[in-house]
Structure 1
């Protein structure tokens, strides 16, 4: 394996350790009592769960780094729509391409995710990830080798489907990591005003994905909820569960003095 592979692997691993590590430090080490009311499942994962999640995640980055090497190879790159001159499409398109990549990824994730839940594929592809019934931030990339291959494939879909700048890819993948860690956080941090807004109701939440891990079906989306809503795969108790977590605390009623 060449220097490019190890550079990519180091960047991927460092990004994961930093983002998941900060989330774990804040919510599981420093301030768990402060956020106790936002804990989705009452119990926390065990040490062995953290170790398993980290171990599989570091192997996932082997697959992801290999994909990066292949994508940038001279026998592949010219056939992609990756461009290096920002002015060829404008800064406006640069920003739009990141959003478009997220929309494409969300569709890709929903349908491959549902496919990996097929009884004939689940054990080989997706069981490893679902060993985290009560996930922690470290579970974000805890995949089996086959699932890592599937999950990493999105980078080829995006690169071949839309014009995209390398820095836009970096931004897209950084946001993906942040949102993936949030999805496995184990705490709901979105405020009630956001999840109850006309836009926010379509955003995926940590509650949504945590329920997927707990119940093993439904809530298949990544960033957004529209595929689950369109396909009727939202868990029946999702809205009820989310409402309990994000509702502002009620002020005690003061007795009226007579």
Structure 2
């Protein structure tokens, strides 16, 4: 029992440190050190308050504990023998480590889309997802701000991944880091995508900070996490997304960038 508590505490400590380092760096740059200089990057011009940040951090610490327990179950309990987790890097080609991370992100995005849509059912929304949507103007701290039940639901994707994909523990770590960085970008509240991205085929595939910010401000549509694929296939992408993105980019890069109506003018 003591060993179990020690391992979970160690995972929790590392995960909490990761949360504060990654989210904290983005928050420091955009919200503390250079908010005026980066104002034209801001998606919603209004600012969230310190009470919002504190609420988000407290919920995120709870979520991190839940995710730590789930990681412990996958890696340090008899459940592991039923998974495809492998401990020796030599069991698969070196290149597979990177591929496994990419495949994990694809599986996660699919899982997240359908889970997220389910959580927007009125009953489930009030029971769990409302906590996350208290942040109508998200910040980096929002990334893990979930109700306890939603935290378990969010983290359960790890069970699915290790059951269907061969995963080395290092691959799991890289997947969680990559996923969290993208998650922080989605909740950043600022759009930092380069100008060329709008005309790139990548724009048709990947989500942006504007994409997820619109979900928080409008409460519907844009359910995907990393990719636009499921939203476009299922017709759930918010109709004002491209206009909202162009409006922010026009503010950043000047009148040559595509212009659009402001976010405030868009219907809920």
Q: 1:223 aligns with which of 226, 236, 245?
A: 226
Q: 1:61 aligns with which of 61, 64, 68?
A: 64
| Structure 1: tracts of 5 or more residues without a match | 252-258
1:118 corresponds to 2:121: yes
Per-residue CA deviations over 1:35-92 (Å, capped at 9, x if unaligned) read 1111000111011100100010001111111111211234111111011222221012
If the length of structure 1 is used for normalisation, what is the TM-score?
Answer: 0.95
Residue 27 of structure 1 corresponds to: 30
- Which runs of structure 2 are paired with 1:81-92 in the superposition (5 Å)? 81-92=84-95
- SS of aligned partner of 1:78: helix
Displacement, 1:192? 2.1
Residue 256 of structure 1 corresponds to: none
| In structure 1, C-alpha distance between the alignment counterparts of 2:199 and 2:187, rounded to whole Å | 21
Residue 254 of structure 1 corresponds to: none
Displacement, 1:246? 2.0
| In structure 2, C-alpha distance between the alignment counterparts of 1:73 and 1:105, rounded to whole Å | 22
Q: 1:11 aligns with which of 1, 14, 24?
A: 14
Residue 153 of structure 1 corresponds to: 156
8 Å contact kept, 1:195–1:203: no
Runs of at least 4 residues off by over 2 Å: none
- SS of aligned partner of 2:201: coil
Residue 104 of structure 2 corresponds to: 101
Displacement, 1:153? 0.5
Compute the RMSD of aligned alpha carbons: 1.1
- Which runs of structure 2 are paired with 1:161-180 in the superposition (5 Å)? 161-180=164-183
| In structure 2, C-alpha distance between the alignment counterparts of 1:233 and 1:130, rounded to whole Å | 18
8 Å contact kept, 1:190–1:205: yes
| In structure 2, C-alpha distance between the alignment counterparts of 1:214 and 1:49, rounded to whole Å | 15
| Structure 2: tracts of 5 or more residues without a match | 257-268
Residue 209 of structure 1 corresponds to: 212
Structure 1 stretch 21-30 or stretch 64-73: which is displaced more?
A: 64-73
| In structure 2, C-alpha distance between the alignment counterparts of 1:49 and 1:2, rounded to whole Å | 31
Q: 2:203 aligns with which of 196, 200, 204?
A: 200
| In structure 1, C-alpha distance between the alignment counterparts of 2:43 and 2:31, rounded to whole Å | 13
Displacement, 1:202? 1.1
| In structure 2, C-alpha distance between the alignment counterparts of 1:40 and 1:207, rounded to whole Å | 7
Displacement, 1:191? 1.0
| In structure 1, C-alpha distance between the alignment counterparts of 2:102 and 2:31, rounded to whole Å | 31
Greater fraction of residues in helix: 2
Displacement, 1:249? 1.6
Aligned pairs, how many? Answer: 251
If the length of structure 2 is used for normalisation, what is the TM-score?
Answer: 0.91
